[in-house]
Amino acid sequence: MIETPYLLFLGDAPDQLAAKVAQGIKDWRPENAVGQFRMDGCKADMKLADMDLAAAKAAGAKTLVVGVANRGGVISQAWKKVLVNALEEGFDLASGLHNLLRDEPDLVAVAEATGRKLHDVRIPSVKYPIANGVKRSGKRMLAVGTDCSVGKMYTALAVDESLRKMGAKSTFRATGQTGILITGGGVPLDAVIADFMAGSIEYLTPDNDDDHWDLIEGQGSLFHVSYSGVTLALVHGGQPDALMLCHEPTREHMRGLPDYQLPTLEALRDTALPLARVANPACEVVGISINTQHMGEDEALSYMAEVEKRMGLPTADPYRQGADRLAEALLAL
Amino acid sequence: MIETPYLLFLGDAPDQLAAKVAQGIKDWRPENAVGQFRMDGCKADMKLADMDLAAAKAAGAKTLVVGVANRGGVISQAWKKVLVNALEEGFDLASGLHNLLRDEPDLVAVAEATGRKLHDVRIPSVKYPIANGVKRSGKRMLAVGTDCSVGKMYTALAVDESLRKMGAKSTFRATGQTGILITGGGVPLDAVIADFMAGSIEYLTPDNDDDHWDLIEGQGSLFHVSYSGVTLALVHGGQPDALMLCHEPTREHMRGLPDYQLPTLEALRDTALPLARVANPACEVVGISINTQHMGEDEALSYMAEVEKRMGLPTADPYRQGADRLAEALLAL
């Protein structure tokens, strides 16, 4: 686990979108973010206090989190001085970049000299077991999508927040680097060796109280030919009691695959549910989460009303409307 | 490549299935196997001459091949003494286990001291791309199973042999360590990083002549919760034109999963075909391969006749009967 709270490093982010890791932390675990560190020319702003390393240290920050991605996921030389200083000042470093902290000899040398930790959340730090399929106690929800990047992480985080607000027991379970940095732990599933994918999800979502919900972040899509195997490992390793269907209605083709159309929500339901029931015969589809960020308010509401009627399931955009109705559907199961 | 012929190491295999690597080599390249080495308690038997290291050396064996797999792919301490002795006696070692020969300091030390080679065929030797889903020329068949270890590799090897005997263009494409040890090339799919699984299969089965068939070895099962993600990566990365359903009728539960029943052949067809059509809308199920090794002749023939009638597809056991009828079904597509 990564020590919290964090100082969020925004570097020289060219725009707000480049700092989406920092945005996720600020939105979902604001208590983990004591401030932001921005270099000259930074165009992103989390509306947190701007702090230098000494001020963040005085405010209790333990880890400097790289909350920004460069083109190519590279650690730029412009950042290096700050990262080295942070280690010298007593911070651990955490990053989800492809360019690993541990592959930078100067960072490794300073971390060793100062006794600080380098957390590369993109690669696994655990030797996961092979899945055994044994039924686990507690409840689990998995977000499954018609495509990649349709809001599965956002949905799981929002349902987790709603459940906890209602006094229910729940835990968001991260399966990607942004989710891991937000919560401080999880499985970087896309970097796990094939044979251990499902086992890593069993490890991530162990036995729990009968009334506890794990909200498992989805990855990929059963219909996305590049990543569908990762998705099926989540469906079988997670042995979900509940599936939440996630969709972005304005997408014109599968992400990165111009020749592939998105499936309908019906096709997603009819494909995912029988597969999920292999691992958990009691599994049900409980609701639908729509990402309406590219729709106007009226268009979004009328689209969701139509889907809700057609599918006979609670339908909401957690970003516009909150996830309380989706959380209630889980509790009613 | 690996020097032949081999001495097949069966270790303390708990049953015949645990030694399927050795079985595959013995069945498909018998000229490469001069004998077998069995430890006390070994329950597998390839019906080869039992030899100690000196006898195998005298018979010309160059490499000791680990022909047995433990759950989790571990090199047990019980095996170590034999492997070390083999290096000292002048054998190279070859293994497809997850637990790499090169990660065992004692084996590495003895191999260096004796000038012998350690071949870990499980290690990917290529940086695979992420799958792009683009339609490729040539034809592809994928063997899919109701369970693990039901005969998918045998089926693909046998259909390949039948096609070549008929003068058709075909290539067996290995996706596991046994197939790689048999043919000298392939993708060790279960050791590939999750994000690159489907891409590795696109790489393995590139554009080819329009009348050329790739016979792709299957892995796992869409219904086996430990490995189903690996299987779906094959279905989508392979973009098969033809699926061959593989089944072992006497299996009482999914391999390694006592609480899981095998699906019916109908369930396999109805699950695999729609998923395959995401990547190749023209895909068809063309035949059924039954592993009848635990059935008597009459029982096997009457079972296959019943399946053929019920499913309306050519049904055969390639081991008992050859794969000509299954190969003809491909050519008729």
DSSP string, A198-236: HHHHHHHS----TTEEEEEPP-S-TT-TTTHHHHHHHHH
A230 touches chain B (CB under 8 A): yes
**Do B232 and A226 lie within an 8 Å CB cutoff?**
no
Cis peptide before B5 (omega within 30 of 0): yes
Confidence (pLDDT) at B177: 86
A187 touches chain B (CB under 8 A): no
pTM of the model: 0.91
pLDDT above 70: percentage of residues in chain A: 100
Q: Which of A195, A227, A271 sits opposite B195 (nearest CB)?
A: A227
Instruction: Give the C-alpha separation, B49 to A134, whole Å.
Output: 41
Provide the shortest C-alpha distance from residue A252 to chain B (in Å): 16
A190 touches chain B (CB under 8 A): yes
Instruction: Give the C-alpha separation, B265 to B269, whole Å.
Output: 6
What superfamily in CATH does domain B139-332 come from? P-loop containing nucleotide triphosphate hydrolases (3.40.50.300)
B269 touches chain A (CB under 8 A): no
**Do B195 and A199 lie within an 8 Å CB cutoff?**
no
Mean pLDDT over A238-266 rounds to: 97
Q: What is the mean pLDDT of chain B?
A: 95
Nearest CA in chain A to B98: A195
**Do A225 and B275 lie within an 8 Å CB cutoff?**
no
Task: Give me the total of CB pairs closer than 8 Å, taking one residue from chain A and one from chain B.
Answer: 136
Instruction: Give the C-alpha separation, B189 to B172, whole Å.
Output: 15
Tell me what ipTM this predicted complex has: 0.94
Cis peptide before A5 (omega within 30 of 0): yes
Phi-psi region of A298 (alpha: psi -120 to 50; beta: other; left: phi over 0): alpha
Residue ranges covered by each domain of chain B:
6-120, 139-332
**Do A194 and B197 lie within an 8 Å CB cutoff?**
yes
Provide the shortest C-alpha distance from residue B6 to chain A (in Å): 27
Beta strands A315-316 and A284-290 are parallel
Which residue shows structure tokens 């339901």? Answer: A269
Q: Which residues of A touch B278 (CB under 8 A)?
A: 223, 225, 228, 260, 263
A133 touches chain B (CB under 8 A): yes
- Tell me the pLDDT tens digit for each residue of A142-171: 999 999 999 999 999 999 999 999 999 999
Question: Quick check: B29 and B6 in contact, CB under 8 A?
Answer: no
Whether residue B74 has pLDDT greater than 80: yes
Mean pLDDT over B97-122 rounds to: 94
Geometric angle at alpha carbon A41, from A39 and A43, rounded to 5°: 100
Look up the CATH architecture of domain B6-120. Answer: 3-Layer(aba) Sandwich (3.40)
Instruction: Give the C-alpha separation, B148 to B25, whole Å.
Output: 18
Does an H or E element contain A160, and which?
helix A152-165
Q: Which residues of B touch A142 (CB under 8 A)?
A: none
The helix-helix angle for B77-88 and B105-114 (nearest 10°) equals 10
Query: In chain B, which residue ranges form alpha helices assigned H by DSSP?
Result: 20-28, 53-58, 77-88, 105-114, 152-165, 177-183, 197-204, 228-237, 265-279, 297-311, 318-321, 324-331
A195 touches chain B (CB under 8 A): yes
Provide the shortest C-alpha distance from residue B62 to chain A (in Å): 31
The more confident residue out of B69 and A9 is A9
**Do B197 and A223 lie within an 8 Å CB cutoff?**
no
The answer to whether the Cα torsion of B206, B209, B210, B215 is positive or negative is negative
Q: Which of B228, B239, B253, B260 to mutate: most A Cβ within 10 Å? A: B228
Q: What is the CA radius of gyration of chain B?
A: 20
Nearest CA in chain B to A128: B72
- Tell me the pLDDT tens digit for each residue of A187-208: 999 999 999 999 999 999 999 9
Instruction: Give the C-alpha separation, B22 to B37, whole Å.
Output: 11
Mean pLDDT over B6-22 rounds to: 93
Q: Which of A191, A222, A259 sits opposite B194 (nearest CB)?
A: A191
Mean pLDDT over B236-249 rounds to: 98
Instruction: Give the C-alpha separation, A333 to B317, whole Å.
Output: 46
Amino acid of residue A15: D
Same fold, A6-120 and A139-332: yes
Whether residue A3 has pLDDT greater than 90: yes
